[in-house]
A = this chain, B = another copy of it.
Amino acid sequence: MRSPAELTEAFRAHGLKVTPQRQLLFRLMHGNECHPTAESLFQSASEQMPGISLRTVYQTLNDLASMGELRSLDLGTGAVRFDPNIDEHHHVVCDRCGDIRDVYVSGSDALSIQGLDGFAVSNTSILFNGLCPRCSAVSE
């Protein structure tokens, strides 16, 4: 995702308005590596801007996602996650604490795949589940 300043430019260039709510979300998402949900962003946003609505958070995030500025991820954790990292990457979810981290996979062209015959695949996502270092230490 581009910087708040660049997004401001881009929004205005496209005839979209730059509201305080949007700017706040630009800031909250920029460089955010937590893979937050709309709800958790709403919490953060509410601290700085009491009265902001959850609907606006959803709206803005979805808009950013459809502009390609961020990615919305369904990692099977209940709510959709928003990710400003739009590089090709995958994820690992800690099934105990819910922590999510980026995973970079290379060499997938060497995979032997059976069953995709005729399919025009537009996206491939790999999801790892398990216990994060902290949680696996605890459960020993």
Contacts and interface: CB of A to CB of B under 8 A. Distances in A.
Interface of A: 74, 76, 89, 92, 94-95, 101-108, 110-133, 136
A18 to B, nearest CB: 32
Interface of A is mostly: strand
B110 A104 contact: no
Nearest to A137: B118
Contact of A118 (B114, B128, B132): B132
Given A104-B114, A118-B132, A118-B133, 19 more contacts: A74-B76, A89-B115, A92-B116, A92-B121, A105-B113, A106-B112, A108-B111, A110-B110, A119-B130, A119-B131, A119-B132, A119-B136, A121-B128, A121-B130, A122-B131, A124-B127, A124-B129, A125-B127, A127-B127
A32 B107 CA distance: 33
B111 A106 contact: yes
A131 B123 CA distance: 10
Contacts of A92: 115-116, 119, 121
Contact of A102 (B74, B107, B115, B131): B115
A9 B115 CA distance: 34
Contacts of A101: 115, 119
